[in-house]
């Protein structure tokens, strides 16, 4: 059952407004309930802590609570026991279908509280997003975008459904691009997806089964998703060192249940670690020996700032062991919702068939846009510039950390991607730290989201905010830490 602590509530009533305070509080609770943020069963903070939090008289809170009770939204009990018992939406329905029962029984797990809160707070205008896995909107290639759209305006004659594997022109452009990076694929080895997140959904729906174990780095981006667990699969976190996953620590692998290994070898999310060449080779050998297929997530493969791109596992894969995932989200634009799966033809066909059942294809507009970006050479030109800018941001970020954090935390210096994994030297109450930071207008991604155990780390991203914003927020974090 969800419990809301007073510190988690960032909203405050507006004392200058002509709307009475109790009504503002009433509306605030209704909004949270009807948006599903406080589902039925959620326990609210006590009246005493609410009056302290909102800096209003206890009687104002009592009036708001009475009003909410009379609408049947919360239980009438006072004190810490007050809880949400219904939502306004179902009250207004002519027949009272118990939708809450439906909501509680759907097989997809809900995101954990902090992730839900981050997803909401990312759209609050004045918060600095210190952990966001996205490039800064100010780096968006506006002029190139205009050129691409102008050309497409005359080129694209219709926007019908596309063939199951996706737009042929895009698959051909991607095959050229990937072959230049050392893979050996043709357009029939590629399936276009609606982002790599969908690629993971397709794999779990079509290739895995209830009881399958997905081995992955600990920590991992995958841990932040409920996807595999919702489908009845186990996630098993395997420790890393600075060369990547320590695959020899895997429990004895049997492949009774279609187990699989998921890895982000290049610029891993969230640690920023890039797997060494030696580790890549020996991991592949280990997986071949144990018949353990690999999902290689190459989301950050193109974003290497120091030594060029390392070879992908897929480029060494002579045994069709590896399913490679790519995406346009981390370089160009997540809003395109375009990703790709590279695998053997039977796998691509099977996943393509499932995709047709799910959404009948990714957006054809987005597929044309990416094709034009690639074929015109604008994508490569843009990427070169992006890498230069992100390298500068990385360098400044590391300098800011050295200035403010070196006595209290450790971190890695990533050779690419977006992330720096910062670990505090001593124990820290990360949830409180998160809430404190939000109050100071800094939004964090706590390590717990990604790790398999309690974490004293933060995923910092230097990609979404400017060098100065990064430095200012690190300075604020230091102040909060010292309080
Ligand atoms: N894989 C990794 C490693 C990621 O970091 C992300 C985005 N955070 C994704 C996949 C999902 O990306 P997409 O927008 O393509 O669904």
Same domain, 159 and 258: yes
Same domain, 23 and 85: yes
Same domain, 266 and 357: yes
Each residue's pLDDT, cut to its tens digit, for the chain (483 residues) gives 678 888 778 889 988 888 899 999 998 888 888 777 888 888 899 888 899 999 999 999 999 998 888 888 888 665 557 888 887 655 554 455 677 778 777 888 888 888 999 999 999 989 999 999 999 999 999 999 999 999 999 999 999 999 999 999 999 999 999 999 889 999 999 999 999 999 999 999 999 999 999 999 999 999 999 899 999 999 999 999 999 999 999 988 777 779 999 999 999 999 999 999 999 999 999 999 999 999 999 999 999 999 899 999 999 999 999 999 999 999 999 999 999 999 999 999 999 999 999 999 999 999 999 999 999 999 999 999 999 999 999 999 999 999 999 999 999 999 999 999 999 999 999 889 999 999 999 999 999 999 999 899 999 999 999 999 999 999 999 999 998
- DSSP classification of residue 315: G
Which residue stretches of 406-440 are H helix?
A: 430-439
Asked if residue 341 lies in contact with residue 335, where contact means CB atoms within 8 angstroms, the answer is: no
Both tokens assigned to 123? 């759209």
Look-up of token digits 């004392």: 15
For residue 166, give the CATH number of its domain: 3.40.640.10
Inside any domain, residue 447: yes
Angle at 84 between CA 79 and CA 88, to 5 degrees: 135
Same domain, 165 and 314: yes
Same domain, 374 and 460: no
Establish whether residue 197 lines the binding site of ligand 1, counting it when its CB lies within 6 angstroms of any ligand atom. Answer: yes
Same domain, 195 and 58: no
Both tokens assigned to 189? 């080895």
Establish whether residue 269 lines the binding site of ligand 1, counting it when its CB lies within 6 angstroms of any ligand atom. Answer: yes
Residue closest via CA to ligand 1's atom 5 equals 269
Same domain, 201 and 309: yes
Same domain, 411 and 423: yes
Inside any domain, residue 225: yes
Determine the Cα–Cα distance for residues 339 and 341; give it in Å rounded to an integer.
7
φ/ψ (deg, to 5) at 403: -70, -40
Both tokens assigned to 471? 């430095």
Same domain, 185 and 200: yes
Inside any domain, residue 116: no
| pLDDT number for residue 79 | 52
Candidate of 329, 341, 359, 450 to mutate for ligand 1, largest count of ligand atoms within 8 Å of Cβ: 329
| pLDDT number for residue 93 | 47
Candidate of 271, 299, 301, 341 to mutate for ligand 1, largest count of ligand atoms within 8 Å of Cβ: 299
Candidate of 115, 129, 174, 196 to mutate for ligand 1, largest count of ligand atoms within 8 Å of Cβ: 196
Q: How far is the CA of 264 from the centre of ligand 1 (A)?
A: 10
Same domain, 236 and 328: yes
Determine the Cα–Cα distance for residues 466 and 385; give it in Å rounded to an integer.
16
Inside any domain, residue 391: yes
Closest CA to 340 of 155, 135, 148, 172: 172
Number of structural domains found in the chain: 3
Inside any domain, residue 57: yes
Q: How far is the CA of 193 from the centre of ligand 1 (A)?
A: 12
| pLDDT number for residue 440 | 96
Determine the Cα–Cα distance for residues 41 and 86; give it in Å rounded to an integer.
8
Same domain, 81 and 61: yes
CA atoms in the 13 A half-sphere facing the CB of 447: 22
Q: How many residues does this entry show for the chain?
A: 483
3-state secondary structure 241-282: ECCEECHHHCCCCCCCCCCEEEECCCCCCCCCCCCCHHHHHH
Range(s) of the domain holding residue 367 = 142-380
Q: How far is the CA of 196 from the centre of ligand 1 (A)?
A: 6
Atom number of ligand 1 nearest to Cα 268: 3
Establish whether residue 264 lines the binding site of ligand 1, counting it when its CB lies within 6 angstroms of any ligand atom. Answer: yes
Inside any domain, residue 201: yes
- CB burial of 350-382 (b: ≥16 within 10 Å; e: otherwise) equals bbbebbeeeeebbbbebbbbbbbbbbeebbeeb
| pLDDT number for residue 403 | 98
| pLDDT number for residue 92 | 52
Candidate of 119, 191, 197 to mutate for ligand 1, largest count of ligand atoms within 8 Å of Cβ: 197
Tell me which of 380, 397, 431 is where a domain ends. 380
Inside any domain, residue 111: no
| pLDDT number for residue 318 | 93
Establish whether residue 296 lines the binding site of ligand 1, counting it when its CB lies within 6 angstroms of any ligand atom. Answer: no
Determine the Cα–Cα distance for residues 305 and 390; give it in Å rounded to an integer.
8
Establish whether residue 450 lines the binding site of ligand 1, counting it when its CB lies within 6 angstroms of any ligand atom. Answer: no
Same domain, 277 and 156: yes
Inside any domain, residue 121: no
Determine the Cα–Cα distance for residues 434 and 443; give it in Å rounded to an integer.
7
Tell me which of 358, 380, 402 is where a domain ends. 380
For residue 54, give the CATH number of its domain: 1.10.10.10
Establish whether residue 463 lines the binding site of ligand 1, counting it when its CB lies within 6 angstroms of any ligand atom. Answer: no
């Amino acid at each position: 059952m969800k419990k809301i602590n007073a510190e988690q509530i960032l909203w405050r009533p507006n004392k200058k407004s002509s709307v009475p305070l109790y009504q503002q509080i009433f509306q605030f609770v209704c909004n949270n309930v009807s948006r599903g943020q406080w589902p039925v069963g959620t326990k609210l903070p006590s009246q005493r802590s609410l009056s302290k939090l909102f800096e209003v008289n206890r009687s104002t809170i009592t009036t708001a609570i009475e009003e909410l009770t009379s609408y049947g939204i919360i239980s009438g009990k006072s004190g810490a026991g007050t809880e949400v018992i219904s939502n306004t939406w179902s009250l207004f329905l002519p027949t009272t279908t118990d939708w809450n029962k439906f909501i509680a029984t759907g097989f997809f797990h809900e995101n954990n509280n902090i992730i839900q809160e981050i997803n909401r707070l990312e759209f609050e205008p004045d918060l600095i997003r210190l952990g966001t896995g996205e490039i800064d909107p100010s780096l968006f290639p506006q002029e190139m975008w205009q050129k691409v759209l102008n050309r497409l305006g005359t080129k694209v004659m219709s926007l019908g459904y596309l063939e199951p594997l996706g737009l042929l022109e895009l698959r051909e452009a991607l095959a050229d691009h990937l072959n230049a990076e050392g893979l050996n694929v043709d357009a029939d080895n590629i399936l276009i997806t609606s982002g790599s997140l969908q690629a993971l959904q397709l794999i779990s729906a079509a290739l895995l089964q209830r009881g399958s174990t997905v081995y992955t780095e600990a920590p991992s981006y995958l841990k932040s998703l409920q996807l595999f667990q919702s489908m009845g699969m186990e996630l098993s976190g395997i420790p890393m060192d600075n060369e990547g996953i320590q695959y020899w620590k895997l429990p004895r692998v049997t492949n009774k249940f279609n187990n699989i290994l998921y890895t982000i070898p290049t610029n891993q999310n969230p640690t920023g670690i890039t797997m060494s060449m030696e580790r890549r080779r020996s991991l592949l050998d280990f997986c071949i020996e144990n018949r353990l297929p690999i999902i290689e997530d190459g989301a950050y493969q193109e974003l290497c700032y120091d030594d060029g791109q390392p070879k992908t596992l897929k480029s060494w894969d002579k045994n069709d062991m590896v399913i490679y995932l790519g995406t346009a989200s981390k370089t160009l634009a997540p809003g395109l919702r375009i990703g790709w799966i590279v695998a053997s033809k039977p796998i691509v066909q099977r996943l393509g068939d499932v995709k047709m059942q799910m959404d009948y294809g990714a957006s054809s507009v987005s597929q044309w846009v990416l094709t034009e970006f690639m074929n015109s050479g604008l994508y490569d030109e843009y990427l070169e510039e992006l890498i230069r800018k992100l390298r500068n941001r990385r360098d400044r970020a590391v300098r800011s950390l050295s200035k403010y954090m070196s006595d209290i935390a450790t971190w890695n210096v990533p050779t690419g991607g977006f992330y720096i994994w910062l670990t505090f030297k001593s124990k820290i109450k990360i949830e409180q730290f998160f809430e404190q930071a939000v109050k100071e207008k800094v939004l964090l991604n706590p390590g717990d989201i990604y790790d398999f155990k309690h974490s004293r780390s933060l995923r910092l991203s230097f990609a979404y905010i400017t060098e100065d914003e990064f430095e200012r927020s690190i300075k604020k974090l230091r102040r909060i830490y010292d309080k």
